[in-house]
Amino acid sequence: MIVRITEDGLRLLETAPPPLQESFVEQFNALEDWEQAMMLSSLQRLVVMMDAKSIKAEAVLSTEPFYESMDEPPIVHENSIK
């Protein structure tokens, strides 16, 4: 299988906002050291409280839409890419 981006896809990439992670990293790095440490400490406490270390959070890859249940039709958003 060969995958190529279309002209429409290239135009979409050129106008797309930066990824959320990129924006978050920039803003997080701009915080004072004590603010970063406080956020990290709080998140670590939440992980322990939720016992989140035992949760499998593997990435899910699919070429098909996700369904709430097999009995329901897919939800299509107006701004979805065709």
For the chain, helix (H) and strand (E) counts, in that order, are 3, 0
Q: pLDDT by residue (tens digit) across 4-30? A: 999 999 999 888 887 778 888 889 999
**Quick check: is 75 in a domain?**
no
**Quick check: is 16 in a domain?**
yes
* pLDDT recorded at residue 34: 96
**Quick check: is 14 in a domain?**
yes
**Quick check: is 80 in a domain?**
no
**Quick check: is 82 in a domain?**
no
Domain count, the chain: 1
Is residue 42 over pLDDT 70? Answer: yes
Q: Which domain holds residue 25?
A: 10-54
**Quick check: is 34 in a domain?**
yes
Dist. CA 47–CA 17, nearest whole Å: 30
**Quick check: is 4 in a domain?**
no
